[in-house]
């Protein structure tokens, strides 16, 4: 039907019924990944700190592994070399730089450690260290020695097992000295800064006193990740044997 010559029912492309308004066609944008946010300075700093923490953790683990395993391997090899050097020197009638050999039955039937001169880190990494300010083995005074319980060969690993009355043997080129302990390996504990165990008379109440007999003092070192405390045992010389004559003398 037409009115005034206009067809209200005519529908052409893009037109509504009864009107000439054109229909707008909607366009849908393709779906894709959202744009990645730009890396700001804070994000980069956090990432760098995370990497540093990981590297620090790995470095700490490597350090601990070296201390607990690597130093033991190196030190035990060095101790074996020193013992061989001692044997060679003694067979040639030479005392050498080393002090002697230490044997403690409580540490094992085959236990034998070299005693080297010095209380510094290098000496303590090579065996049992001897304080050069103290007396020589068998001499009147305090023969003071120290060693590690953990790391660097662990010469004193079984120190807490020591008991009162245990015998400690020190061999030099010409003599063998036997000491008997006064106390156990855990009965005396001192701070690392306490000095009386290194006195000529190892007694906290005997500072400055003149020694009258031969004693031995054995100390543990301050260990990795442990407290500053160290254990101390003291022993009296009970006998000495002359290796050349085979004669044993009892010390009273």
DSSP-derived letter for residue 19 is -
pLDDT at 240 over 80: yes
pLDDT in tens, 39-71: 577 777 876 777 777 766 666 565 555 555 666
- CATH top-level class for 63-250? mainly beta
pLDDT at 241 over 60: yes
Looking at residue 52, its pLDDT comes to 74
Domain ranges of the chain: 63-250
Is the pTM higher than 0.85? Answer: no
Q: Are strands 167-171 and 113-117 parallel, antiparallel or unpaired?
A: unpaired
The residue-averaged pLDDT of 140-169 equals: 93
3-state secondary structure of 242: strand
Looking at residue 196, its pLDDT comes to 97
Backbone angles phi, psi at 133, to 5 degrees: -85, -10
pLDDT at 14 over 50: no
Q: Greater confidence, 206 or 65?
A: 206
pLDDT in tens, 115-131: 999 999 899 989 999 99
CA distances from 145 to 52, 73, 112, 219 (A): 42, 22, 14, 6
Looking at residue 87, its pLDDT comes to 94
Looking at residue 104, its pLDDT comes to 98
pLDDT at 252 over 90: no
Q: How far apart are CA 40 and CA 140, in angstroms?
A: 74
Annotation marks residue 20 as catalytic: no
Set 16, 20, 64, 148: catalytic member: 148
Set 16, 19, 152, 221: catalytic member: 221
pLDDT at 195 over 70: yes
pLDDT at 20 over 90: no
Looking at residue 82, its pLDDT comes to 95
Looking at residue 30, its pLDDT comes to 54
Annotation marks residue 148 as catalytic: yes
Looking at residue 2, its pLDDT comes to 45
3-state secondary structure of 234: strand
Q: Give the 3-state DSSP-derived string for 127-159, with helices as H, strands as E and coil as C.
A: CEEECCCCCCCCCCEEEEEEECCCCCCCCCCCH
3-state secondary structure of 217: strand
Question: What is the share, in percent, of the chain residues with pLDDT greater than 90?
Answer: 59
Looking at residue 62, its pLDDT comes to 59
Q: Tell me the pLDDT of the chain averaged across its residues.
A: 83
Q: How far apart are CA 101 and CA 123, in angstroms?
A: 14
The pLDDT confidence band at residue 74, using thresholds 50, 70 and 90, is: confident
Looking at residue 155, its pLDDT comes to 92
CA distances from 157 to 26, 77, 124, 125, 208 (A): 84, 17, 14, 14, 32
Token representation of residue 92: 């040639």
């Amino acid at each position: 039907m037409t009115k005034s010559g206009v067809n209200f029912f005519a529908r052409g492309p893009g037109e509504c019924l009864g009107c000439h308004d054109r229909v707008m066609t909607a366009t849908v944008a393709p779906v894709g990944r959202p744009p990645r946010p730009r890396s700001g300075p804070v994000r980069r700093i956090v990432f760098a700190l995370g990497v540093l923490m990981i590297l620090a953790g790995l470095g700490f683990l490597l350090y601990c592994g070296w201390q607990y395993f690597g130093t033991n391997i190196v030190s035990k090899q060095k101790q074996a070399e020193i013992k061989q050097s001692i044997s060679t020197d003694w067979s040639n009638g030479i005392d050498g730089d080393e002090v002697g050999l230490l044997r403690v039955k409580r540490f094992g039937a085959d236990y034998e450690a070299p005693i080297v001169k010095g209380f510094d880190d290098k000496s303590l990494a090579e065996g049992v260290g001897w304080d050069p300010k103290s007396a020589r083995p068998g001499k009147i005074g305090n023969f003071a020695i120290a060693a590690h319980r953990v790391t660097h060969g662990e010469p004193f690993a079984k120190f807490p097992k020591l008991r009162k009355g245990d015998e400690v043997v020190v061999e030099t080129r010409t003599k063998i000295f036997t000491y008997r302990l006064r106390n156990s390996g855990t009965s005396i504990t001192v701070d690392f800064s306490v000095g009386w165990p290194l006195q000529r008379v190892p007694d906290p109440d005997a500072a400055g006193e003149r020694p009258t007999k031969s004693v031995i003092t054995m100390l543990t070192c301050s260990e990795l990740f442990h407290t500053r405390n160290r254990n101390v045992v003291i022993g009296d010389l009970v006998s000495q044997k002359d290796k050349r004559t085979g004669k044993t003398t009892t010390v009273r």
